[in-house]
Amino acid sequence: MREFSRIKPMLDVIRIYWKMHPDLRLCQMLSNIATIGGWKDKDLYYLEDKDLMEYLNITIKKEFGNGHENNER
């Protein structure tokens, strides 16, 4: 069974990113994040949560630098 504790941190980072891009649809946003982060497969079904979290952090740093907390709306 996967760790339940992984959910809140993931949703927190998704919330931050989504507030920066409120016009994106959820799946569109996740696909963009995976692609920017380096995911090569078009099928997100096999993307592990730890990899998505890494891609989220990569994407936020690429777009906003390390100060994304200050960019939250």
Q: Tokens for 43?
A: 């099928």
Neighbours of 32 (CB within 10 A): 15
Neighbours of 16 (CB within 10 A): 17
Cα-Cα-Cα-Cα dihedral sign, residues 61, 64, 70, 73: negative
Res 26: pLDDT: 95
Res 68: pLDDT: 52
Q: What is the pLDDT of residues 14-36, one digit of tens each?
A: 999 999 999 999 999 999 999 88
